Chains A and B, each alone.
Chain A
Amino acid sequence: MTGFSIFILCGLLVSFIADRRRTLSGLKRGGRMFLNVMPTLLTVMVLMAVGLYLIPAPLIARVLGEQGGALGFLLAASIGSIVLLPGFIAYPLCSTFMKQGASVSVIAVFVTTLMMVGVLTLPMESKFFGLKAALIRNGLSLLGALVVAILMGLSYGRT
């Protein structure tokens, strides 16, 4: 993240030296977009906080670690689609359960839906892309995630 910040701040500096007026106009455009997204962003953060409370980490751990078979698979897919966990929380969790023998396809469906499907961020996504596009993208991504997970399970030789 720091590399990214430094890159953008350097870009800003270079842009400012090259053309002050143009830079200010760019900042104004970016700022206006940011302000317009702000209410939706705050709402999404509220939804995420409530969601994280309702679906706490120990529950996720139980589903990933203990529930096998089709039920575990579907539960992992639903939880992965709803909550948003950053990779540095999700992967250590998954790695532990995989070592304990949790099924690869359950872990894979959880990880993949976590990344590609975001029910709680739908308000924000539809603000940018329109509701229709956001719904179709999430639907297709969910189907895709199921396919990826099944293929993962098959290639590990156990589902």
Chain B
Amino acid sequence: MGGPEAKPAGGGLKGYAPFCLFLLGGCVSWLLNWEPGKEILKGFGRFAAEMIPVLPLVFILIGLVDVWVPRRRVEEMLGDESGLRGMFLVILLAFFNAGPLYAAFPIATILRKKGCSLRNIFVFLGAFAAMKIPMVSFEIGFMGLKFSMLRLAFTLPIFIGVGILMEKLLGKGYEMRGS
């Protein structure tokens, strides 16, 4: 598999530099009582509170899928030959998800590893971004049924188109390798 797993663990301590710098800046602004710095630190805390409960679970899920789900089965259902049924299935899969889009990246990576077609990967991401059930029900509550249904009706063909184009532009065999 490409992606994050391919890198040797522990080799990337340098990657923590921006975060350490940020922490240092945060401490200094706290000591000097510098409002903007404290404000940014508070924002960071809010994002951390949103992510910390979700992400470990996502990675547990991915580990379990990795060891239990047979590649052949996924390939059959979501692979290059899966057609409209496969596309329908990935949209359904995205439907019953929660959490921000970046939680979908690792899920997409494991699906790809298990043989999901590139087109379906990006259709999954689009559906995850735009039509998760918790988000849509919230949207209907605030914006009304008409707004929500119209948005879904216009967005659905768009992200299916994005999926098809992505596969065309990158090539079916594109390896999702992290940079």
- Asked if B12 and A39 sit within 8 Å, CB to CB, the answer is yes
A94 at the interface (CB under 8 A from B): yes
User: Interface code A4-15, partner B: CB below 8 Å = 1, 0 otherwise?
Assistant: 110011011001
User: Interface code A22-35, partner B: CB below 8 Å = 1, 0 otherwise?
Assistant: 11011111111111
- From known contacts A1-B53, A39-B15, A128-B3, infer whether A30 and B43 are also in contact, taking CB-CB under 8 Å: no
Give every chain B residue within 8 A of A104 (Cβ-Cβ).
147
User: Interface code B60-101, partner A: CB below 8 Å = 1, 0 otherwise?
Assistant: 111111111000000000000000000000000000011111
- Asked if A129 and B67 sit within 8 Å, CB to CB, the answer is no
The interface on chain A, measured as residues whose beta carbon lies within 8 A of the other chain's beta carbons, has a size of 76
User: Interface code B124-164, partner A: CB below 8 Å = 1, 0 otherwise?
Assistant: 01100110000100110111000100110011001101100
Bound Cα distance from A25 to B62, whole angstroms = 12
Give every chain B residue within 8 A of A27 (Cβ-Cβ).
60, 63-64
- Asked if A131 and B179 sit within 8 Å, CB to CB, the answer is yes
Q: Quick one: closest A residue to B54, CB to CB?
A: A1
Write 8 A-B pairs (CB below 8 A) sorted by A numbering: A28-B63, A48-B43, A91-B143, A94-B143, A95-B143, A116-B130, A128-B105, A155-B150
Q: In the complex, given contacts A26-B68, A137-B122, what are 18 additional A-B residue pairs having Cβ atoms less than 8 angstroms apart?
A: A4-B98, A5-B57, A23-B67, A31-B59, A31-B63, A33-B109, A36-B9, A41-B51, A45-B51, A50-B43, A95-B143, A112-B151, A116-B101, A128-B106, A129-B105, A140-B165, A144-B158, A148-B154
